[in-house]
Amino acid sequence: MTLSWHLFPSRRRPPVQHKTLAMSFVEYGDTIKDGDTAIVFLGHESMFPVKVQQGSVTQTKYGVIRHSTDLIGKKYGSKVTCSKGGWVFILHPTPELWTVNLPHRTQILYSTDISVITMMLELKPGSIVCESGTGSGSLSHALIRTVAPTGHLYTVEFHQQRAEKAKEEFREHGVEHLVTVTNQDVCKNGFGVSDIADAVFLDIPSPWEAIGHAKSALKAEGGRICSFSPCIEQVQRTCLAMEEYGFTEINTLEILLRVYNSRSLLSFHLPPKSLEHSLSPTSPQGKSNKLPNSSYEEIPTQKQGKTHRRM
């Protein structure tokens, strides 16, 4: 994947008032409550989200989880025993957990790309960010957590049903006061805001068509813009558009994740100095000179009565 961004100095936004909700992806709560979104953790490769509701049940391979008795009132992180005797952990949701468990309405960004995007955009609490498109909300949740509690995300989604679903999820996750979702074509109508954003993020098929609107959304003194594209042809056209609109310090990154495995090797013991003598197949007396801890084996043969060694 490829990133392009533009750098200008940014200015912090003055604090704004916001309300505190019972369960939020940006504020940790100790106790599971009715209406919460929780993560049922069966293992690192097996977990799923569940909306906690009084009287509801959730089926797992270990049996039934009854929300009223097994979840509500318990602490997040609790080990819950299912009806068949198996057990699961109930985790508090985070943007990272949501990324690997969310319902896919589109292709999404994962934590490796999200971490670099957040760093390059220089986001922090209080930042104002514009995003398009919203998609499945993977990046959106991470951006909201980063700019909370006094920042704001303005996200634009072209598809009406995806925009409505995103609004519903943000409301259920307790972050609706930190995000504004707009259903429109960002390439034609922009972000709906002007001169307020510290950063702009684009993940759309034709990002070069939205560069002018992105510039309008940024603060007068400038900010950062990042475009995420899978094809180098998209990157080239977007960089040209950035130059045309006066952006500077344009860079392109390809993000590759390389995983290393660390393991111990068996030690090899060298023979003591006193035994470092001839390694001929046999001694003059016809006895083997095999050294202790050496890595060969003796194979008797019928040829001339010699013993051959396989290294």
Tens digits of residue pLDDT in 254-268: 988 888 988 887 666
Residue at 230 is within a domain = yes
Same domain, 147 and 41: no
In a domain, 28, yes or no: no
**Residues 85 and 132 occupy one common structural domain:** no
One domain for residues 210 and 236: yes
How many Cα atoms are found within 13 Å in the side-chain-facing hemisphere of 127?
25
- Domain assignment present for residue 11? The answer is yes
Task: Give the pLDDT confidence score for residue 311 in this predicted structure.
Answer: 44
* CB-based contact 93:38 (threshold 8 Å): yes
pLDDT at 11 over 80: no
Query: Is 23 a domain residue?
Result: no
Q: What is the pLDDT of residue 2?
A: 42
In a domain, 30, yes or no: no
Specify whether 295 is located in the same domain as 224: no
Query: Does the pLDDT value for residue 199 go beyond 60?
Result: yes
Strand partners, 214: none
Domain end: 254, 276, 301, which one? 254
User: Residues 69, 83: contact at Cβ < 8 Å?
Assistant: no
Question: Are residues 134 and 9 both part of a single domain?
Answer: yes
Spatial separation of the C-alpha atoms in residues 101 and 47, rounded to whole Å = 7
Domain count, the chain: 3
114 lies in a domain?
yes
- Identify whether residues 171 and 285 lie together within a single domain: no
- The whole-number pLDDT of residue 27 equals 87
CB-CB contact of 222 with 8 (8 Å): yes
Beta strands in 164-234 (DSSP E): 179-183, 199-202, 224-229
Residues 190 and 233 reside in one and the same domain: yes
Cis peptide before 246 (omega within 30 of 0): no
Omega cis (within 30) before 281: no
Domain boundary among 231, 254, 277: 254
* DSSP-derived secondary structure letter, 46: E
We report the CATH number of the domain holding residue 181 as 3.40.50.150
Are both 49 and 84 inside the same structural domain? yes
CA 30 to each of CA 7, 55, 62, 72, 91: distance values in angstroms, whole numbers, following the listed order: 40, 21, 25, 11, 10
pLDDT of 200 > 60? The answer is: yes
> Considering the chain, what is the average pLDDT of its residues?
85
Spatial distance between the Cα atoms of 146 and 123, rounded to a whole number of angstroms: 7
Per the domain annotation, does 133 fall within a domain? yes
- Residue 81 sits in a domain whose CATH number is 3.10.330.20
Range of the domain at 236: 2-15+98-254
Domain boundary pick from 46, 75, 91: 91
Confidence band for 240, pLDDT divided at 50, 70 and 90: very high
The answer on 207 and 273 residing in a single domain is: no
Same-domain check for residues 126 and 210: yes
- Does residue 238 share a domain with residue 309? no
Which of 133-142, 226-235, 242-251, 294-303 has the weakest average pLDDT?
A: 294-303
Q: Are residues 87 and 210 in the same domain?
A: no
Q: What does the pLDDT look like over 63-92, one tens digit per residue?
A: 999 999 999 999 999 999 999 999 999 999
Q: What is the mean pLDDT of residues 288-296?
A: 49
Tell me if 120 is assigned to some domain. yes
